[in-house]
Amino acid sequence: MRHKGKSVSFDAMVKFFMHTYNIPTKKDVDKLMNKLEQIEKLLKSTGGPAKRGRQASIKNNRGKKVKGRSGSTAVNQVFEVIKGFKQGAGLPDIKEKTGFDEKKVRNIIFRLNKNGVIKRQSRGVYVAT
Residue range 24-65, pLDDT digits in tens: 999 999 999 999 999 998 888 887 555 555 544 444 445 545
Residue 121 has, within 13 A of its CA and on its CB side, a CA count of 13
Residue 30 structural domain:
9-46
- 52 vs 69 pLDDT, higher one: 52
Whole-model pTM: value is: 0.45
Query: Looking at the domain assignment, is residue 55 inside a domain?
Result: no
Provide the domain count of the chain: 2
Query: Looking at the domain assignment, is residue 59 inside a domain?
Result: no
User: How many C-beta atoms lie closer than 10 Å to residue 44's C-beta?
Assistant: 9
Containing 79, the helix (H) or strand (E) segment is: helix 74-84
